[in-house]
Amino acid sequence: MSNTASSNRSVNGQPKRAILLVLDSFGVGASEDADRFGDVGSNTLGHIAQHCAEGRCETGRRGPLSLPNLGRLGLFHAAKASDDSISALNALSNEDHSELLGRYGFAKELSTGKDTSSGHWEMSGVPVFFDWSYFTEKTNSFPDELLQAIVNAGDLPGVLANCHASGTEIIARLGEEHMASGKPIIYTSADSVVQIAAHEECFGLERLLELCEKTRTILDHIPGLNVGRVIARPFVGSGPDDFVRTGNRRDYSVLPPEATLLDKLIESGGDVFSVGKIADIFAQQGISQRYKANGIEALFEQTLSALSNAGNNTLVFTNFVDFDSSYGHRRDVNGYAGALEAFDGMLPRLFDAMNENDVLLISADHGCDPTWPGSDHTREHVPVLAYGKTLTPANLGKRESFADIGQSLAGFFGLEALPYGESFLALSGDTTI
């Protein structure tokens, strides 16, 4: 049966568009099954807010966390509903937000993991119920069969690292040896990933990308391995003090197991504009145009650019990876707080760029509490915020799946209902739907 809450036609001569912003790793409190992951008590937003409220942000910023625009969308009300044990969140939710602009709630994850692919696929209507393969050994992490196949495919003199590592640390430690030997740096983490770092000039960017493509093919043909992503990690610089990763990162993902919201929108004649690494997460499938950028501000600018180019029935889908890669994994609480405040300050420009038919959704794919031990993601609820100029504000409460986001967008675009999720847009009084 068709999802009849929406029409494929423009309204009042204006295109009908949706913007989905994923603040990568922006969790709002441990999920009910967090004990399975060792994450009971984690809370990315809550612990950042508490850290700021207690005056522990010693560099880069001062004072309580200030997110007025996200607050007006209902972020702190949603966060308090997810976890009311953190006093700083309670204080922020009690501030005067009498004129809330948006719909707000939080969602739990159905998928079995707490990784990027699972989170994004689930919010597009395809939860992940299978288990990924992980390389759990901290040293000598990869099987010899895999490493030898990579060496042969890339005609390499060998590889470096073969361990769990922080990307910036491993480049600082082994970057010079890599440049001298020609051996790429291959490492992993608690995610289902093979990461390959190489110097853009000494090794070559195109050579690195080709090596990662070959590694993806190798993984897909080794029985028993189900690895989510191969990530190319190019860097530049002359030594440990100035090595820096570039914006030419590329993720090589397996395809989602079923057709996603993105596929269905494309099939209906609509468009999906990928901003940042969205296209990589979906293995380039279900994408009309790609907008690449490096850094939160640049990604936001590209989002605005994509929206300005978007016609009727277009989804602008953006991933803000830096919240995760630059601050969450690096356990940089101060940096995370400052980045959230910078993002919040950009939102009014997006509000102004939206027409009366547009809808904005803001969420996350998992948590990555920067106060938590280790450097892994954390199993958390994610915020679900919705805004439209004619969308009535409402408390959405707890959502039983990230797939509610995809189902809501399916209804918005007039698509067939997806197998999972319930819409939070099709409420009485909505004139944009």
Ranges of each domain in the chain: 17-129+257-412, 144-253
Strand order in the sheet with 103-107: 289-291, 271-275, 314-320, 17-23, 359-363, 382-387, 103-107, 394-399
Largest CA distance in the chain: 66
Query: Is the C-alpha dihedral spanning 333, 334, 335, 336 positive or negative?
Result: positive
Half-sphere exposure of 180 (CA within 13 A, CB side): 5
Is residue 163 within 8 Å of residue 105, measured between CB atoms?
no
The alpha carbon of 129 is separated from its chain's Cα centroid by a whole number of angstroms, namely 19
Residue 283 identity:
A
User: 3-state SS string over the chain?
Assistant: CECCCCCCCCECCECCEEEEEEECCCCCCECCCHHHHCCCCCCHHHHHHHHHHCCCCCCCCCCCCCCHHHHHCCHHHHHHHHCCCCHHHHHHHCCCCCCCCCEEEEECCCCCCCCHHHHHHHHCCCCCCCCCCCCCCCECCCCHHHHHHHHHHHCCCCCEEEEECCHHHHHHHHHHHHHHHCCCEEEECCCCEEEEEEEHHHHHHHHHHHHHHHHHHHHHCCCCCCCCEEEEEEEECCCCCCCEECCCCEEEECCCCCCCHHHHHHHCCCEEEEECCHHHHCCCCCCCEEECCCCHHHHHHHHHHHHHHCCCCEEEEEEECHHHHHHHCCCCHHHHHHHHHHHHHHHHHHHHHCCCCCEEEEECCCECCCCCCCCCCECECEEEEEECCCCCCEEEEEECCCHHHHHHHHHHCCCECCCCCCCCCCCCCCCCC
Residue 375 CA to residue 307 CA, distance in Å, equals 34
CB atoms within 10 A of CB 26: 28
Instruction: For tokens 């601050």, name the residue.
Output: 327
Q: Beta strand pairing status for 394-399 and 271-275? A: unpaired
Overall fold of domain 17-129+257-412: Alkaline Phosphatase, subunit A (3.40.720)
The alpha carbon of 113 is separated from its chain's Cα centroid by a whole number of angstroms, namely 14
Architecture of domain 144-253: 2-Layer Sandwich (3.30)
**Of residues 40, 66, 23, 13, the one with CA closest to residue 318:** 23
pLDDT of residue 8: 53
Residue 363 identity:
S
pLDDT of residue 226: 92
Residue 41 CA to residue 63 CA, distance in Å, equals 24
Q: Can you list the residues of the chain whose pLDDT is less than 50?
A: 1-7, 428-429, 431-433
Is residue 275 within 8 Å of residue 315, measured between CB atoms?
no
Is residue 196 within 8 Å of residue 213, measured between CB atoms?
no
Report the chain's C-alpha Rg in angstroms. Answer: 21
Residue 173 CA to residue 148 CA, distance in Å, equals 23
Is residue 281 within 8 Å of residue 116, measured between CB atoms?
yes
pLDDT of residue 96: 65
Is residue 310 within 8 Å of residue 17, measured between CB atoms?
yes
The alpha carbon of 350 is separated from its chain's Cα centroid by a whole number of angstroms, namely 19
pTM value > 0.75: yes
Residue 417 CA to residue 410 CA, distance in Å, equals 6
What pLDDT digit, counting tens, does each position of 2-53 carry? Answer: 343 344 556 677 899 999 999 999 999 999 999 999 999 999 999 999 999 9
Residue 296 CA to residue 6 CA, distance in Å, equals 32
